[in-house]
Amino acid sequence: MSNATTAYETIIIGGGLAGLTCGLRLAEQGVKVAILEKGETDRYMCNSRICGGAFHVSYRDVAEPPDVLMTAMKSKTQGFSRPSFLEVMANNAGTTVQWLRSKGLRFIKVGDAPHRRTTLAPPIATKGRDYWHGRGGDVMLRTLHGELKKAGATVLLGTRALRLRMNGSQCTGVDAEQQGLKVTLDARNVVISDGGFQANLELLKEYITPAPAKIRQRNAQTAMGDGLKMAREVGAALVGMNRFYGHVLIQDAMTNDDLWPFPLMDDLCGGGVMVDTSGKRFVDEGLGGVYLANHIAGMQDPLSTTVIFDQPIWEGPGKEFITPANPLIVSNGGTVHKSPDIAGLAKQLGLPAGALEVTTTQYNAAVDAGTTAQLTPTRSTHAHKAWPIRTAPFYAVRLAAGITYTMGGIAIDGDSRVLDANDNPITGLYAAGCATGGLEGGEHVGYVGGLSKSSVTGFRAANHIVANRAR
């Protein structure tokens, strides 16, 4: 049973950062807009609410010059990204954050790293399940909701979009479900901004991993890819679907909620060697945690890998980052294997001792000779130093891939218009945030930044809608 049709100028699907940015930008310019959010309470869960809070562009501060941001993105994405998408990010990241500041968001500098110079205030806690309460993304969303109310926007909680309404090749609204009732919402424009598909195991198996139940959901577990599926049904192109942003976690995080989203295993993996069940290396540990998490997830058994390291690595890379693996994986209940020799470590792990000893011996020789690039697989050192593994005691931690958001999604142009398979815009249909693809991913799993992507694409969609109101 359906109620009467309700009309808006623009409907936005999803109440995360991308949707709220788009909605507020439209509302402040007099556009009649409704934001559909399936969460039923004011503190509905989404990735934006529990985020780390750093606005950056490929680990550079958003306030840096566009040419600096462009260089950083090109270095990370290695030719994968649409050039127009890179230009939009480089030229709009800083100004979009300035607009967010004008709407009441507060930012602070956290540490010396460039990518933490523009971090939501107050910063998240570094431990505990409530690390996000009253901080960072939680305050951001509540602030934006307050501004939306003042601007006269409509936010429909407990409302889930079901399908796009089309009149030929033009999008004209959505069919939705609101508190158990079917509703029809007409609109001149629809913006899909309901996040990625990381919580949809069926889509994960289709695009990301052969064993979705064996990777850790390091997210709000609300992004099901509804918008992506609706867009696909009306002919939208999808791009870069096989990559995600995430980190390497201790395998115990699969069952222990105190071991996700932090601490990360990225730096330990970057210092030591990662082996599979044969006791042999299987990946270039120097390529960083986002790449490593993707590689682990793509394995036939994503729970079949282990990192091996020694005391200097445990005391060095193990103590890096604001939530260090040492001591948090131990204090939070994680299992760290320890032995005076590699053979003993292999026995604890059920790995072939001979193979593991050969792996570490060959690795140490390459580190000493500066020939890690000649190992198979190669071991790069431009981002993470290769440490020798020879000082007892020796350690091992079983690993898991933690997925935060999917990088691939709906293809869009520089104005956030949804593109079809022929690269033509679908009239009246936009997408923003992590529902989109074409910026991040590729062979090198290039990472640009979810918060920056979400705010910029939401802002761009709104600006294009306003600029074309009279047409």
Mark whether 50 and 177 lie in a shared domain: yes
The SS3 assignment for 393 reads coil
Q: Are residues 253 and 304 in the same domain?
A: yes
372 falls within a domain? yes
In a domain, 161, yes or no: yes
Question: Quick one: pLDDT at residue 428?
Answer: 98
Structure tokens at 380: 């790069």
**Which of 403, 423, 443 is the C-terminal boundary of a domain?**
403
Number of folded domains that form the chain? 2
Domain C-terminal end among 370, 388, 403: 403
Q: How far apart are the first and last CA of the chain?
A: 35
Q: Report whether pLDDT(419) > 50.
A: yes
pLDDT of 1 > 50? The answer is no
Is residue 351, in this structure, part of any structural domain at all? yes
* pLDDT band, residue 126 (cuts 50/70/90): confident
Q: Where are the alpha helices (DSSP H) in 152-288?
A: 201-207, 226-233, 266-271
One domain, residues 254 and 328? yes
Mean pLDDT value of segment 360-387: 96
Asked, for residue 461, whether it belongs to a domain, the answer is yes
Phi, psi of 236 (to 5 degrees): -70, 145
pLDDT value for 470: 66
CA gap 414, 10 in Å, rounded: 19
DSSP string, 70-126: HHHHHHHHTT-S-HHHHHHHHHHHHHHHHHHHHTT--EE--SS-GGGSSEESSPPPS
Q: What average pLDDT does the segment 2-12 reach? A: 81
**With bands split at pLDDT 50, 70 and 90, how would you rate the model's confidence at 441?**
very high
pTM (2 d.p.): 0.96
Question: Could you tell me if 35 and 144 lie in one domain?
Answer: yes
Question: What integer pLDDT is reported at residue 128 of this predicted model?
Answer: 81
Residue 275 lies in a domain: yes
Whether residue 209 is contained in a domain is answered as yes
Q: Is the pLDDT of residue 366 over 70?
A: yes
**Cα–Cα distance measured from residue 249 to residue 262, given in angstroms and rounded to the nearest whole number:** 8
User: Residue holding tokens 């790449």?
Assistant: 291
Domain boundary (403, 426, 452) is at 403
Residue type, 43: R
CATH classification at residue 384: 3.90.700.10
> Which residues are paired to 396 by β-bridges?
308, 337
Q: Residues 274, 292: contact at Cβ < 8 Å?
A: yes
Q: What range defines the domain where residue 252 resides? A: 247-403
Q: Are 80 and 207 found together in one domain?
A: yes
In this model, does residue 153 exceed pLDDT 70?
yes
267 and 191 in one domain? Answer: no
The CA-CA-CA angle for residues 118, 120, 123, to 5°, reads 115
CA torsion 230→234→240→244, rounded to 10°?
Answer: 0
In a shared domain, residues 58 and 163:
yes
Q: Are residues 319 and 225 in the same domain?
A: no
Rounded distance between C-alpha atoms, residue 110 and residue 114, angstroms: 9
The predicted-structure confidence for 286-345, as pLDDT tens digits, reads as follows 999 999 999 999 999 999 999 999 999 999 999 988 889 999 999 999 999 999 999 999
CATH code, domain carrying 114: 3.50.50.60
Which residues have a Cβ under 8 Å from the Cβ of 349 and sit 6 or more positions away?
A: 306, 337, 396, 398
pLDDT recorded at residue 152 = 97
- Bridge partners, 275 (sequence order): 281, 306
- Tokens at residue 389, please? 């593994």
Residues 285 and 398 placed together within one structural domain of the fold: yes
Question: Mean pLDDT across the chain, nearest whole number?
Answer: 96
Instruction: Please check whether residues 218 and 271 belong to one and the same domain.
Output: no
User: Is residue 85 domain-shared with residue 207, that is, in the same domain?
Assistant: yes
The reply to whether 365 falls in a domain is yes
Residue 1 lies inside a defined structural domain of this protein: no
Residues 167 and 78 reside in one and the same domain: yes
Percent of the chain, pLDDT > 90? 94
